[in-house]
Amino acid sequence: VETVLIPGVNSRKHQMCFDWGPGEMLVCETSFNKKEKSEMVPSCPFIYIIRKDVDVYSQVLRKLFNESHGIFVGLQRIEEELTGKSRKSQLVRVSKNYRSVIRACMEEMHQVAIAAKDPASGRQFSSQVSILSAMELIWNLCEILFIEVAPAGPLLLHLLDWVRLHVCEVDSLSADVLGSENPSKHESFWNLVTILVLQGRLDEARQMLSKEADTSPASVGMCRIMGELMRTMPILSPGNTQTLTELELKWQHWHEECERYLQDCTFASNPHLESLCKIMLGDEAALLEQKELLSNWYHFLVTRLLYSNPTVKPIDLQYYAQSSLDLFLGGESSPEPLDNILMAAFEFDIHQVIKECSIALSNWWFVAHLTDLLDHCKLLQSHNLYFGSNMREFLLLEYASGLFAHPSLWQLGVDYFDYCPELGRVSLELHIERIPLNTEQKALKVLRICEQRQMTEQVRSICKILAMKAVRNNRLGSALSWSIRAKDAAFATLVSDRFLRDYCERGCFSDLDLIDNLGPAMMLSDRLTFLGKYREFHRVYGEKRFADAASLLLSLMTSQIAPRSFWMTLLTDALPLLEQKQVIFSAEQTYELMQCLEDLTSGRPVHGGPDTQQCQDDDIETTKVEMLRLALARNLARAIIREGSLEGS
């Protein structure tokens, strides 16, 4: 567990406060001041924010998160109808895919560590390599024991491959020895042969012994006998059809032959070959003498099983594992967290494996994906947590929450929440509301995610936020579009008012395409309806359809949807129609316009005081009113005459 020191925090004075929020951050108040003083005054001028899941910010580990996401989603879609071998083979393939991603990241991290110029950074990257290596080691063992469910016989073959994959120093050692002029005289020659035997790579060990025989005539006979023992050792190969009973009988016979050669002191004159013979007999003392070459207790365990009980049953593994750990450590040191995790796996205690990994590892990636895979293997069905969610879902929720703390990886977290049937939807709603909408492109991504999942409240909230931003930036068209999408009548009214105010100031509309194509959306609010209809009046007037324009203008005045502050503008718009050669407004319509004008002027407040600007504005308004009254009176006279002549004819 990593300890983070926070400058200024004095825990003895109880100045430390913290809280985990949905953004996966610990907020700590500190107790130091800007100015240096001899005594610390209990005050908290600063707040430190410490991220819980810092691994999401590693460039290399981001590849681990990105690539494993695809594997995870594919796993959720595995056909439930698949049963037996076909399902098992698919699950094993998924497990291997996860491991290949871990190994690829481990190799890349290793290259980064080598290239690091700063020693501290190099150590940090090397530490990450060790962690990734441990993760792959644990996952591989879980794959063998819980997913492959290898029976006695094939089980040991899998464990041998496991050890060979993770104890790989032998390859570089082999290259050094074989690259020398005289391999058998190389100082590490016998170490190499011994490691090959310890790993069960007997064919390669025989080839090395042949080099010893070529250069040392005195050892030819002994090397030949040892080579023959190595060649004849019974091993259950994948394509072999022999039964376990047959293998055990052959192995027992071979074991007795090895013991006879040792009793006859065949190798007494060559301590190296004698030691190899003891190892092949499974002699614990001889194996423990090779502690340095074995390097860890689980290598010792697998070698011990190979040469003492090659047909070990899965149920017996825990006893061999515990005794191997005790023998290897010899009471000199305590088991490390990795040892405890591997021991729990050998004991087939899945929940303990997950618990220990959760404590030991610095992020939730490993336990979340491993638990999900084991759950698909039907191994965790009975384990529910006390707060209503099962272990798989709890760990996936924790992992997804960590992803949401990152500015771009949050998109991966969405799918993890989707596959949590109990609490995933609620968690997604809580987290998605806290994503900072820095750009419109990001906002559209978030919006699309919410719309696909019918998250109505979140859609409205995001649209309102974007509408507010657009208004602040004076992008009225965008603001109106977002408020319509949010179905927010109050905000649509606000934006419509801004459009009308701009029109009054500039004499023209902006964003005509949007206003012209409002369609049914204009019914969202009265003010939006008025805006759309008023724009329609201008369009009809521009097409010289004066009668239609007059009817529309009058309906806007009399339907009470026009804001009272805009009535004078509407009446002013009527002036050109009143002054047309032909009579456009009927007598009845003219009376209605007159009534609107009187209502407007009678309700207008009387201003007192010497405000020059106000006096000028009042003069302009008075002039407009007089012009309107004159135009209305003339139009009324013309309309009465016209209507009277029509009736007379």
| Least confident stretch, 17-31, 207-221, 544-558 | 17-31
| Least confident stretch, 43-47, 101-105, 463-467 | 43-47
| Least confident stretch, 32-46, 181-195, 198-212, 585-599 | 32-46
Alpha-carbon distance 399 to 431, whole Å? 13
Residues 616-622, mean pLDDT to the nearest whole number: 66
| Least confident stretch, 101-110, 440-449, 504-513 | 504-513
How confident is the model at residue 37, as a pLDDT? 47
Q: Given a cut of 70, is residue 430 above it in pLDDT?
A: yes
How confident is the model at residue 70, as a pLDDT? 94
| Least confident stretch, 3-17, 332-346, 544-558, 581-595 | 3-17
Alpha-carbon distance 427 to 316, whole Å? 43
Mean pLDDT for the chain overall: 81
How would you class 381 by CB atoms within 10 Å of its CB: exposed for 0-12, middle for 13-18, buried for 19 or more?
Answer: exposed
For 132-161, write each residue's pLDDT tens digit.
Answer: 999 999 999 999 999 998 888 889 999 999
Sign of CA dihedral 232, 236, 237, 242: positive
How confident is the model at residue 14, as a pLDDT? 47
How confident is the model at residue 608, as a pLDDT? 46
How confident is the model at residue 618, as a pLDDT? 63
Q: Given a cut of 70, is residue 514 above it in pLDDT?
A: no
Bin 24: left if φ > 0, else alpha if -120 < ψ < 50, else beta. left
How confident is the model at residue 604, as a pLDDT? 56
Alpha-carbon distance 449 to 446, whole Å? 5
Residues 100-125, mean pLDDT to the nearest whole number: 88
Residue percentage of the chain with pLDDT more than 70:
82
Alpha-carbon distance 336 to 261, whole Å? 40
Q: Given a cut of 60, is residue 45 above it in pLDDT?
A: no
What are the residues facing 51 on neighbouring strands?
A: 25
How confident is the model at residue 179, as a pLDDT? 85
- Hey, how many other C-beta atoms are within 10 angstroms of the C-beta on 135? 25
How would you class 250 by CB atoms within 10 Å of its CB: exposed for 0-12, middle for 13-18, buried for 19 or more?
Answer: middle
How confident is the model at residue 356, as a pLDDT? 93
Round to the nearest angstrom and report the end-to-end CA distance of the chain: 103
CA atoms within 13 A on the CB side of 324: 27
* H-assigned helices in 43-168: 59-76, 84-115, 119-142, 154-166
| Least confident stretch, 60-69, 252-261, 503-512 | 503-512
Cα–Cα distance list, 572 to 330, 404, 548, 575, 593 (Å): 102, 56, 17, 5, 11
Assigned token pair, 213: 């025989």
Q: Of residues 21 and 14, which shows the higher confidence score?
A: 21
What are the residues facing 50 on neighbouring strands?
A: 26
CB contact at 8 A, 548 and 540: yes
DSSP state letter for 20: B
Query: 292: Cβ–Cβ under 8 A, 6 or more apart, which residues?
Result: none
Q: Given a cut of 50, is residue 495 above it in pLDDT?
A: yes
- What would the DSSP string read from start to end of 391-417? HHHHHHHHHHHHHTTSTTTHHHHHHHH
Highest mean pLDDT among 371-385, 394-408, 545-559: 394-408
Question: Could you give the dihedral angle defined by the CA atoms of residues 214, 216, 221 and 225, in that order, rounded to the nearest 10 degrees?
Answer: -70
| Least confident stretch, 268-282, 379-393, 537-551 | 379-393
CB contact at 8 A, 305 and 320: yes
How confident is the model at residue 491, as a pLDDT? 77
How confident is the model at residue 27, as a pLDDT? 56
- Hey, how many other C-beta atoms are within 10 angstroms of the C-beta on 433? 16
Assigned token pair, 379: 């191994």
How confident is the model at residue 72, as a pLDDT? 95
Query: 632: Cβ–Cβ under 8 A, 6 or more apart, which residues?
Result: 578, 590, 593, 594, 597
* H-assigned helices in 332-364: 337-346, 350-360
How confident is the model at residue 625, as a pLDDT? 80
How confident is the model at residue 340, as a pLDDT? 94
- Hey, how many other C-beta atoms are within 10 angstroms of the C-beta on 622? 11
Q: Would you report the helix, strand and coil content of the chain in percent, each value rounded to 5?
A: 70, 0, 30
Cα–Cα distance list, 318 to 58, 244, 345, 574, 615 (Å): 37, 21, 9, 96, 99
Residues 591-618, mean pLDDT to the nearest whole number: 64
Q: Which residue has the tokens 């994959």?
A: 165
How confident is the model at residue 437, as a pLDDT? 85
Residues 57-83, mean pLDDT to the nearest whole number: 83
How would you class 483 by CB atoms within 10 Å of its CB: exposed for 0-12, middle for 13-18, buried for 19 or more?
Answer: buried
Q: Of residues 501 and 452, which shows the higher confidence score?
A: 452
For 539-575, write each residue's pLDDT tens digit.
Answer: 887 788 888 888 877 787 777 777 777 777 777 777 7
Q: Rounded to an integer, what is the distance from CA 365 to the centroid of its chain?
A: 9
